[in-house]
Amino acid sequence: MSLLAVEAVEARHGLLQAVRQVSFTIAEGETVALVGANGAGKTTLLRTLAGAHRAAAGRVRFRGEDITARPSHERAAMGVALVPEGRKLFATMTVEENLNLARSAGRAGRWNLDTVLEAFPNLKARLHAKAGSLSGGEQQATAICRALMTNPEVIFLDEVSLGLSPLVVDRVYAQLAVLKASGVAMILVEQDLGRAMASATRTLCMLEGRIVIDAPTASLTREDITRAYFGLDRAESRGH
């Protein structure tokens, strides 16, 4: 049985159909890269899987259970977590308060204040600082730790490296390797194709709300993904 099964899911923003008939599965401990141009539907898809956006059609199953109608806090309590684009921390609360708030919404497991600080040691000195005063890298680390405090089995990470310096991105990805080793499954949205391909065993590419590539990363070249990313294969097929 798959950990997460997405079955013909659709999602809308008013009259705009952002996600169209998306189907795929995620196995326990698997790391999947989700790539695509801006507006391809990646963020809406992750929000829909996490319960923050209502599905217009289709089914989301977690460990075989249909969770399509469950709200986000119930999914978090089951083991589904989202690190949203832009982090969305409580800026006037401390790092510790942000983390403990997430803990109260989650479930029992290996991740607690001590273990997340062990995985992300750069936050130890900032534990009592207001989240709004943190650097971009510290905010991203806090957002990831906040998700971990719910003890997820699958975590959706939206634009992990957005707005961060290359040095900080290296540090964040080194810490994500700790999560991979712990057995947490991940869907990683990343604009940097090199980092995405180096981090994931499988790659999904979205174009105009649809999955146009779902394949083992090792079987793909950067050109394969780039062509799908920009819809070049589709454009050429229309031209013949």
CATH code, 4-239:
3.40.50.300
Concatenate the DSSP letters of all residues of 157-208 into one string: EESTTTT--HHHHHHHHHHHHHHHHHT-EEEEE-S-HHHHHHH-SEEEEEET
pLDDT at 236 over 60: no
Starting at the edge strand found earlier in the chain, the sheet holding 16-26 runs 16-26, 4-13, 57-62, 65-66
pLDDT score of 66 more than 70: yes
pLDDT band at 164 (very low <50, low <70, confident <90, very high): confident
> What tokens does 124 get?
């130890």
- 181 burial (CB, 10 Å; 0-12 / 13-18 / 19+) is exposed
Q: Looking at residue 195, what is its pLDDT?
A: 87
- pLDDT band at residue 220 using 50, 70 and 90 as cut-offs: very high
Is a pLDDT exceeding 80 seen at residue 104?
no
Residue pLDDT, tens place only, 67-86 = 999 999 999 999 999 998 87
Distance CA 33, CA 201 (A): 8
The residue extents of the domains of the chain are: 4-239
Residues 6 or more apart in contact with residue 195 via CB below 8 angstroms: 161, 169, 173
Residues listed for the chain: 240
Cα–Cα dist 159/19, whole Å? 18
Calculate what percentage of the chain has a pLDDT beyond 70: 97
Stretch among 57-61, 91-95, 126-130, 171-175 having the lowest mean pLDDT = 171-175
As a 3-state breakdown, the chain gives helix, strand, coil percent values, each rounded to 5, of: 40, 25, 30
Q: How far apart are CA 80 and CA 65, in angstroms?
A: 13
Residues 186-201 pLDDT 10s: 999 988 888 888 999 9
The CA distance from 79 to 148, in Å, is 10
